[in-house]
Amino acid sequence: MSASSRTPLVHLPRTEQAGILPTPAQRPDAAAVARHYDELDYFYRSVWGEHLHHGLWWNEDDRTPPEEATTRLLEQAVAPLALTPEMKVVDIGCGYGGVARWLAAHHDVRVTGLTLSTRQAAFAATTAPTSQAVRIRVGDWLHNDLPDAGFQAALAIESLAHMPDKGAFFHELARTLVPGGRAALACWLATPDPTLPERLLLRQICREGTLPGIGTLDDYLRLARNSGLRVLDHRDLSSSVERTWWIIGRRVLYGLFTDPRYLRFLAGRVFRKRLFVLTIPHMILAYRTGALRYGFLW
């Protein structure tokens, strides 16, 4: 997507929702999302590393290691951004700052990353202290203090599903990009017109993953255009990322049998830790049935 140079940016209603939503009693807010990542900090890093996003494999015979596959997904996502040295980039939902550091190292850009998790920000600070090239901050994208038209590019890798207000997400994207600036989103997508079993499965995934909702591709295209953004392209990569969850499942099973810390961690007092493990078979089922899709949106 790019910020239109012709469409004036106006303050649109910030209450637009989309797609599959948990029940109101289960719908998490930013504080709940922050707790989710703080509590699962050890689990996430031990299972998948500092890049928390999916890997990308072109076909069944592709034997690329997961660590390289996650980098491949990132490379594919940012390619249309046409990054050049000294560009200012915002990384929305930056996690441990791995993506921000990769962007700075490979494209010589300046990156501001926002995460809700204090533990993720602390890890990022110890891994690569705040510098002129990379700044990782604890902050809420939907209520940020970033300047209008302050960035030439934006990136959101699998963070959109965590946003309680999808319309406000795109509004902030349009507000903070310069006219003609570009954004790349890698996002989970609900299938259009899901059956009742598919809807129940997606709602369960929302509950387990602390997701306020998952929109369809059409939902996000509409919200982007309503915010004054011009959609450049989109691409479905569901079959190319599905392997991620099979690998995670194998690693978790291996860890349960070989690392006592896994059992102690999952047997802890916080129920969300144990609940999240159920996401693994549910995600595999959702991808396999087509209830959940994965796509790039530029």
Q: Who's near 218: CB < 8 A, 6+ residues apart? A: 192
Q: Please, which pLDDT band fits residue 20 given cuts at 50, 70 and 90?
A: low
Query: Tell me: the pLDDT tens digits for 52-84?
Result: 899 999 988 989 998 999 999 999 999 999 999
- Measured CA to CA, the distance from residue 128 to residue 101 in angstroms comes to 8
Nearest to 119 by CA among 27, 210, 44: 44
Whether 34 has a pLDDT exceeding 80, the answer reads yes
- Measured CA to CA, the distance from residue 189 to residue 216 in angstroms comes to 5
- For residue 229, what are the β-bridge partners? 3
> What mean pLDDT do residues 148-170 have?
96
- Between 215 and 12, the more confident residue is 215
> What mean pLDDT do residues 100-121 have?
94
The whole-number pLDDT of residue 19 equals: 59
Q: Which long-range contacts (CB under 8 A, 24 or more apart) does 42-49 make?
A: 42/261, 42/265, 43/265, 43/266, 43/273, 43/276, 45/96, 45/123, 46/255, 46/259, 46/261, 46/262, 47/248, 47/251, 47/252, 47/255, 48/248, 48/251, 49/98
The whole-number pLDDT of residue 197 equals: 94
> What mean pLDDT do residues 135-147 have?
95
Lowest pLDDT segment from 78-92, 98-112, 275-289: 275-289
Degrees, nearest 5: CA angle 39-287-42 = 15
Whether 131 has a pLDDT exceeding 90, the answer reads no
Q: Please, which pLDDT band fits residue 42 given cuts at 50, 70 and 90?
A: confident
Q: Is 13 exposed, middle or buried (0-12, 13-18, 19+ CB in 10 A)?
A: exposed
Whether 110 has a pLDDT exceeding 90, the answer reads yes
What is the end-to-end Cα distance of the chain in Å, rounded?
4
And the tokens for 242? 């599905």
Whether 44 has a pLDDT exceeding 90, the answer reads no
The whole-number pLDDT of residue 47 equals: 79
* pTM greater than 0.85: yes
- Measured CA to CA, the distance from residue 110 to residue 40 in angstroms comes to 29
Question: What's the chain look like in SS3?
Answer: CEECCCCCCCCCCCCCCCCECCCHHHCCCHHHHHHHHHHCHHHHHHHHCCCCCCCCCCCCCCCCCHHHHHHHHHHHHHHHHCCCCCCEEEEECCCCCHHHHHHHHHHCCEEEEEECCHHHHHHHHHHCCCCCCEEEEECCHHHCCCCCCCEEEEEEECCHHHCCCHHHHHHHHHHHEEEEEEEEEEEEEECCCCCHHHHHHHHHHHHHHCCCCECCHHHHHHHHHHCCEECCCEEECHHHHCHHHHHHHHHHHHHHHHCHHHHHHHCCCCHHHHHHHCHHHHHHHHHHHCCEEEEEEC
The whole-number pLDDT of residue 9 equals: 34
Residue positions counted in the chain: 298
The whole-number pLDDT of residue 18 equals: 60
Lowest pLDDT segment from 11-15, 46-50, 220-224, 246-250: 11-15
The whole-number pLDDT of residue 238 equals: 96
- Measured CA to CA, the distance from residue 273 to residue 265 in angstroms comes to 8
The whole-number pLDDT of residue 14 equals: 43
- Measured CA to CA, the distance from residue 283 to residue 202 in angstroms comes to 9
> What mean pLDDT do residues 29-37 have?
85
Averaged pLDDT of the chain? 86
Q: Please, which pLDDT band fits residue 271 given cuts at 50, 70 and 90?
A: very low
> What mean pLDDT do residues 129-150 have?
89
